[in-house]
Structure 1
Amino acid sequence: MNCLAFRRQLLVDPQARQADLQAHAAQCAPCARALQRALVFEASLKAALLMYEADGDSTQHEDEADDSSDADPSRSRDCATGL
């Protein structure tokens, strides 16, 4: 495998554990660094998506709670009296 083929495969799937990818990274320092950068980027992207999902779930539940009091007038509070 040459560097160009390695970089192309790295763009497709940086977490691929193909033997030829691993062998090339073991003998080519620039490609090994590119692999490390790609893996770090993938990990930070995954963390950001997990954080977004967790934040999105809590925001959705808060919105649902706010909407439930609007649907039933007997459950809503009067702003002037606090009842």
Structure 2
Amino acid sequence: MAKALYNLCKKNGTVMEYSITGSEVTELISCKKQDVYNSASYGQMIRKEFYVEVVDRPLSRTKDLTLLLEYDRVCREILERCG
């Protein structure tokens, strides 16, 4: 299963780590996974020093059906024109 990716940032906005998983954030700064999710969802600070930004999330077939259908349509169109 694909996992969401986060940027780990300091309070002043400096990005410490780019595109890491929630588990990697917990290992780097010794916090709970729930702290990571709260920071990503509600903007809460982690240990009053860090926050995370969601930079990539996995696609869901049900939630992103329109996007996936558009991707398929464009791929078919490109293949028809090039092949």
Greater relative contact order (Cα < 8 A, sep 6+): 2
Between Structure 1 and Structure 2, the one with more helix by share is: 1
Would you tell me which structure has more strand in proportion to its own residues? 2
Give the TM-score normalised by the residue count of structure 1. 0.26
TM-score, normalization: structure 2?
A: 0.26
